[in-house]
């Protein structure tokens, strides 16, 4: 018996029309972004043409002593301490292109995914630049690559990976009441690299006690850090931590959660992923903070965090934030674009353009110090899981 076989060219090939895109994590900072004065990351959407700077006016609280009925106020009035925090904006653009010949071959209309992919690209860019801004050192100068090649620079301040040891020491000195190295205030000396080296793998992990200490630092800082939210006489801050630090905290809090919450599976937080809350601090996991430590800061820079701690342990930051810790001015909101030159309608290209800046809100304090107003930066031992 001769069985008929199907020749290779006649075999059925199933082409799926649905296209699988690589997973792009949603911006973990989105719930804390907004145009209001209480937002942690305040977006400024003036959308005015012209200029490359946006000024954020800042005033601090009045501190002068009380005057009574027997006192004279004339010539004893208090001056309002104010400052203009200048933030620079720069362009970000990207595009994809195809031609009629390639579209003719396409069985799944891959080019239809161009706009969603460009939108995902924009989300990733903004998320990563928010992390860079949180770690950058405040500066009154324009960003080093503003308007330049290789993508320009929307992140304001001195990028951490570009900072010298002297610049890092100045930042640590200017922000001595809002920086924490490990779980002991005594680790601070004002020499950044030295203090990073004190963070050890035993006593300086990010645990529940670390959250309490970060909040204490925030509440005692002067100028004050305004809590993210107030309610019923309680104050709430938000701490952004990478996956390694978040995992250590969650492990440390297992007993607390087990004893303090209902035992039913649907409500008990040990069975669910998500933010942790401890002593009025919301701790949000941002995995890309660890990605920055692993990739961006692992290229031989003098302020390396990956091998910065005691016995060369991996160190990662935690950012505890109050209101207006970060400002994000927009000069041009994300706008879709198309290719003008089409080679007689043979080429098809789509793109995206936007213009914004992002940076810490800071104030010049005591005439020389550049103080980050809404944030405490903590450094903790954050070893990768073995």
Output the DSSP codes for 20-88.
PPPP----TTGGGEESSTT-SEEEE----SS-SEEEEEEE----PPP--TTS--TT-PPPPPEEEEEEE
**Is the CB of residue 257 less than 8 Å from the CB of residue 278?**
no
At 153 the pLDDT is 96
Residue 187: pLDDT band by 50, 70, 90 thresholds?
very high
- Read off the DSSP letter of residue 100: H
3-class DSSP state of 193: helix
Q: How confident is the model at residue 127 (pLDDT cuts 50, 70, 90)?
A: very high
DSSP state of 223: S
> Which DSSP string do the residues of 226-288 spell out, in sequence order?
PPSEEETTEEEEEEEE-HHHHHHHHHHTHHHHHHHS--STTT-GGGS-S-EEETTEEEEE-TH
How far is residue 294's CA from residue 314's CA, in Å, rounded to a whole number?
A: 9
Mean of per-residue pLDDT scores for the chain: 84
Measured between alpha carbons, how far is 132 from 296 in angstroms, rounded to an integer?
10
Q: Which residue has the higher pLDDT, 213 or 224?
A: 213
Are 384 and 204 contacting, i.e. CB atoms less than 8 angstroms apart? no
Token pair of 94 as six digits: 């990207």
Closest CA to 207 of 236, 178, 235, 182: 182
Q: State the angle between helix axes of 208-220 and 243-252 in degrees (0 to 180), rounded to the nearest 10.
A: 110
- Report which secondary-structure segment, H or E, holds 172: helix 165-174
More confident residue, 106 or 23: 106
CB 374 within 8 A of CB 322: yes
Of residues 267 and 360, more confidence is placed in 360
> How buried is 24 (Cβ within 10 angstroms: 0-12 exposed, 13-18 middle, 19+ buried)?
middle
Instruction: Give the integer Cα–Cα distance in Å for 277 and 285.
Output: 12
pLDDT at 107: 65
Whole-number Å distance between alpha carbons of 280 and 44: 28
Q: Cα(219)–Cα(280) distance, rounded to whole angstroms?
A: 12
Q: How far apart are CA 19 and CA 93, in angstroms?
A: 24
What is the end-to-end Cα distance of the chain in Å, rounded? 61
Residue 316 in this model has a pLDDT that exceeds 70: yes
Whose tokens are 């931590």? That residue is: 241
| H-run or E-run covering 318 | strand 315-321
Parallel, antiparallel, or unpaired for β 276-278 and 281-285? antiparallel
Q: Which residues of 218-235 are buried (b: 16+ CB within 10 A; e: fewer)?
A: beebebebbbbeeeeeeb
Within 10 angstroms of residue 313's Cβ, the number of other Cβ atoms is 20
Name the more confident of 68 and 225: 225
Question: Which stretch of 27-36, 106-115, 288-297 has the lowest confidence by average pLDDT?
Answer: 106-115
Burial tier of 90 (Cβ tally within 10 Å: 0-12, 13-18, 19+): buried
Which residue do the tokens 């002068």 mark? 64
User: What band does 260 get if pLDDT is binned at 50, 70 and 90?
Assistant: low
Q: How far apart are CA 82 and CA 237, in angstroms?
A: 24
Q: When comparing pLDDT for 72 and 241, which is higher?
A: 241
C-alpha angle 345-350-354 in degrees, rounded to nearest 5: 145
The domains of the chain are located at 30-58+81-260+271-381
Q: What is the pLDDT of residues 47-106, one digit of tens each?
A: 566 678 888 887 777 777 777 766 777 877 778 777 888 899 999 999 988 888 877 777
User: Can you give the pLDDT at residue 50?
Assistant: 66
Quote the CA–CA distance of 315 and 134 in Å, as a whole number: 16
């Amino acid at each position: 018996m001769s069985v008929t076989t199907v020749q290779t060219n006649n075999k059925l090939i199933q082409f799926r029309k649905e296209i699988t895109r690589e997973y792009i994590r949603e911006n973990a900072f989105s719930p804390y972004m907004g145009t209001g004065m209480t937002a942690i990351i305040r977006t400024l959407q003036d959308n005015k043409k012209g200029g490359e700077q946006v000024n954020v006016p800042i005033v601090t609280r009045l501190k002068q002593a009380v005057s009574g009925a027997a006192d004279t106020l004339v010539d004893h009035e208090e001056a309002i301490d104010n400052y203009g925090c200048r933030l620079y904006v720069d362009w970000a653009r990207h595009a994809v292109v195809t031609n009629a010949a390639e579209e003719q071959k396409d069985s799944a209309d891959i080019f239809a995914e161009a706009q969603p992919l460009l939108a995902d690209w924009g989300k990733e860019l903004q998320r990563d630049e928010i992390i860079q801004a949180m770690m950058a050192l405040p500066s009154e100068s324009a960003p080093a690559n503003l308007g330049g090649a290789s993508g320009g620079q929307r992140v304001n301040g001195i990028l951490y990976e570009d900072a010298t040891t002297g610049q890092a020491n100045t930042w640590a000195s200017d922000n001595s009441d809002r920086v924490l190295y490990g779980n002991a205030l005594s680790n601070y000396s004002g020499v950044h690299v030295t203090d990073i080296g004190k963070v050890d793998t035993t006593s300086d992990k990010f645990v529940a006690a670390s959250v309490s200490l970060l909040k204490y630092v925030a509440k005692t800082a002067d100028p004050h850090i305004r809590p993210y939210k107030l309610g019923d006489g309680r104050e709430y801050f938000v701490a952004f931590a990478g996956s390694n630090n978040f995992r250590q905290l969650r492990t440390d809090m297992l007993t607390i959660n087990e004893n303090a919450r209902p035992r039913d599976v649907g409500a008990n937080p040990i069975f669910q992923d998500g933010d942790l809350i401890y002593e009025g601090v919301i701790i949000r996991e941002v995995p890309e903070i660890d990605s920055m430590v692993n990739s961006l800061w692992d290229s031989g820079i003098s302020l390396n965090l990956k091998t910065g701690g005691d016995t060369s342990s991996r160190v990662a930051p935690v950012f505890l934030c109050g209101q207006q810790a970060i400002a994000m001015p927009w000069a041009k909101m994300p706008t879709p674009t198309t290719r003008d030159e089409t080679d007689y309608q043979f080429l098809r290209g789509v793109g995206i353009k936007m213009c914004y800046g992002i940076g810490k809100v800071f104030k010049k304090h005591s005439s020389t110090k550049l103080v980050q107003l809404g944030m405490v930066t903590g450094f903790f031992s954050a070893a990768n899981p073995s």
